[in-house]
């Protein structure tokens, strides 16, 4: 697991310095990876792993937020250690997990946090963005 994390950090560093994008996926303007951020929608992306302890602590918070913000904002979890998500950590320039990234309706990144983030702090980022039309 340590080797995987070191590899992830190394790849993220290379991507950050070389301008590497999202491993060839087609994407619209403003998208980091295909479909993210969600067009015309406030989007919270949590990049982590199902086996990382702080990420496990985030999981129930993300599920609660998905329900609370259903139809108003998108809450997306990406397991960066899952082979199906190869390249996504690099695309988001993730250096450590968990990393939470918030995008406004226009697809602009407006907030980034590394580590566990409590529900109240996330809501403090999402609510003002939802108030703006």
Catalytic residue, chosen from 55, 73, 75, 117, is 55
CA distance 64 to 71: 14
CA distance 94 to 113: 10
Annotated active-site residue 52? The verdict is yes
Annotated active-site residue 9? The verdict is no
Is residue 88 helix, strand or coil?
Answer: helix
Enumerate residues 6+ apart whose C-beta is below 8 A from 51. 1, 81
Strand-strand pairing, 42-48 and 73-79: parallel
Residue 32 CA: distances (Å) to CA of 2, 4, 56, 60: 27, 23, 24, 25
Catalytic residue, chosen from 42, 44, 52, 78, is 52
Q: What is the DSSP-derived secondary structure letter of residue 127?
A: H
Instruction: Give me the active site residues, please.
Output: 52, 55
């Amino acid at each position: 697991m340590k080797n995987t994390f070191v590899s992830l950090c190394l790849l993220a560093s290379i991507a950050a310095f070389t301008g590497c994008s999202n491993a060839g996926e087609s994407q619209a303007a403003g998208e980091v990876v295909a479909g993210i951020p969600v067009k015309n929608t406030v989007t919270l992306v949590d990049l982590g792993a199902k086996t990382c302890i702080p990420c496990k602590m985030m999981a129930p918070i993300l599920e609660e937020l998905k329900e609370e913000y259903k139809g108003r904002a998108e809450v997306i979890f990406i397991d960066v250690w899952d082979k199906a998500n190869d390249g996504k950590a690099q695309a988001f320039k993730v250096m450590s997990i968990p990393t939470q990234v918030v995008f406004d309706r226009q697809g602009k990144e407006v907030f980034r946090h590394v580590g566990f983030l409590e529900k109240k702090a996330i809501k403090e980022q999402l609510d003002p963005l939802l108030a703006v039309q």
